[in-house]
Structure formats: structure tokens, C-alpha cells
Amino acid sequence: MKRGLSAAEIAACPDAARPVLARYGAGEISAEVAVMQLLLASGGMAPLTECLKALAAMAPGNSAVLALQQIASADLSGAAALVESGLARERAGSLAAIRDQFDRAVAIAPEAAVALYSLDSAATLDRATAELVARLDQWQLLGPEVAALDIGCGIGRLEAALAPRLRAITGIDVSPGMIAEAQRRCAGLANVDFAVCDGAGLAAFAGRRFDVILAVDAFPYLVAADPALAERHVADAAQLLSKGGALAILNYSYRGDLDADRHAVADLSRRYGFAVLRNGTRNFTLWDGATFLLRKEP
């Protein structure tokens, strides 16, 4: 079977879809992320289907196209509903607007609300979560004595996965709807707790100490709302972390400029006493998130 995509084949789809297909054809993103980005680029399920039909007609038997079609043939109604309603994009503006966005999204499609590339598939989200946990383990961030704080915990997928690997983990989110779903999913896990936060910073945890602070796809919303909010979270993390503790920011922004994100994170690290261990590295196969791993200096 043929692999990759030619320029002529990519040209069969609308202009908005072509950069996504070029990245996918070059092996830069997974089929799941490609379908997500095509759904966003096309604006809905019907135009996505038409794009893939045109692509298949231009590239019959192409295994890369067949993989996209297979994923798109599943029930994507939840993810499509988020895209078509405008709930799948980060928004500049108030924290109240972000809170409302996620309250509405989690009521429609919980898995897609926390990670759109899951396309609202629990199995796909579980795969992505397992890969994330494996990387955290590889980076030596887990252990039976470790206490963690998870910023933007969503539906509690990391709490459920990490509870057996940590002493304790606290998940926070601006969305009461997300927290309610996380509490339901993690009921009975004695070392897990959740709280609705205000999104303005981590001052509510003053006096507590954490060994690891995680932020998975949370900072892009802070940056979009106000970059000062992202800085406040880094400054507060420096106060809450034990010496040698780690701050793992997985995706700093969605602005599409990784060099700018690297510069911003390096600058924040210098100002708040962090050593940069990973500055925008790509460490996942299913998800295209960028890793910023910071260590609090002694």
C-alpha cells in the first residue's frame, strides 16, 4: 500500500485542510490528531467527510488515507458537536467565559472536552493517557512518596491513572462541571481530591507542598485569556514546589509558534528559579503536545 501524500492529492481538499494533510503526510502528527485538526479546519462533520472522499478518490489504496477514513467512520458526533458549537477552541477573554465553555463542553462530550484529539473515544483517551503516564515515569516524576497538583484536571483522567503511582494527587479546574465529572469517575480513590479553582493562580494552596505540578493543555487557555495569568501560575508553582520539584507544562499555548513558547517559558524559568530540562520537545506518538519540563532549583 502507498504511504504519504503527494501535493496533488493534498490539493483535492480545501485550502484550510491542506496544511494539516501536509503535516500528516510528513509523519509529524498522528491520524487521530489529523482528523481532529481536519474537523476544526472544515468546521464540521459533513465537510470533513467530503474532504476525505475527495482525498480517497485521488489516492485509492493509500494506507495513510485509509487510516483517516477508518477513524472518521467511528461515531464522531460528540467531537463534531463541540466543533460546530464553537466549544472546541481556546478563547481570549475572561476566565468566566472559559469556565462556561468547559461546563457546556463536558455536558456534551466529556472525553472530547478534555482532549479533542480523542474524538470523544474513551479508548483513544486511555491510550493517550497511558502514554503520558509512561513519559512521566520515564522522567522520574512518579513515586510512592510523591504529592502532585494537576492544574486543569478536567474529568480526572490523570488522577485515575496516577493514583496507584503517587502518595496523593489534587486536581483543580475552573469548571464545576469538569470537577463533578472527575469526582464521579474517581470515587473511592482515597489519595485523590478535587477542587474548583478561580483560574487566577494557586494562592489557595499556600502553605502546602508538592513534589510535582502538572498542567496538561491548561496553559494555552491561560495564555489566551491573559499571559499574566500564565506567569502567575509559574510564580505560584515556584512557591508551592519542594526543592528539586518539577513543573511539567504540556503545551504552553496554541498560537502555533513553538519558538515563541520556548522563549516565553525560558524567560519565566529564569525569573522564578527553574532549570529548564525540556523546552518544547515532542515526546508523544498519538498526541502532538509540546513538553516544557522545569525543575525548581535548590
Residue 1's pLDDT band (cuts 50, 70, 90): very low
Task: State pTM to two decimals.
Answer: 0.95
Q: What pLDDT digit, counting tens, does each position of 102-157 carry?
A: 999 999 999 999 999 999 999 999 999 999 999 999 999 999 999 999 999 999 99
- Looking at residue 93, its pLDDT comes to 73
What is the average pLDDT across 41-58?
Answer: 94
Q: What pLDDT digit, counting tens, does each position of 64-92 carry?
A: 999 999 999 999 999 999 999 999 986 66
Terminal alpha carbon distance of the chain: 54
Burial zone of 114 (CB within 10 Å; 0-12 exposed, 13-18 middle, 19+ buried): buried
- Please name each of the domains of the chain with its CATH number: 7-73 (no CATH), 80-118 (no CATH), 128-296 (3.40.50.150)
Angle of CA points 208, 212, 215, to nearest 5°? 105
Q: What pLDDT digit, counting tens, does each position of 168-179 carry?
A: 999 999 999 999
- Looking at residue 3, its pLDDT comes to 63
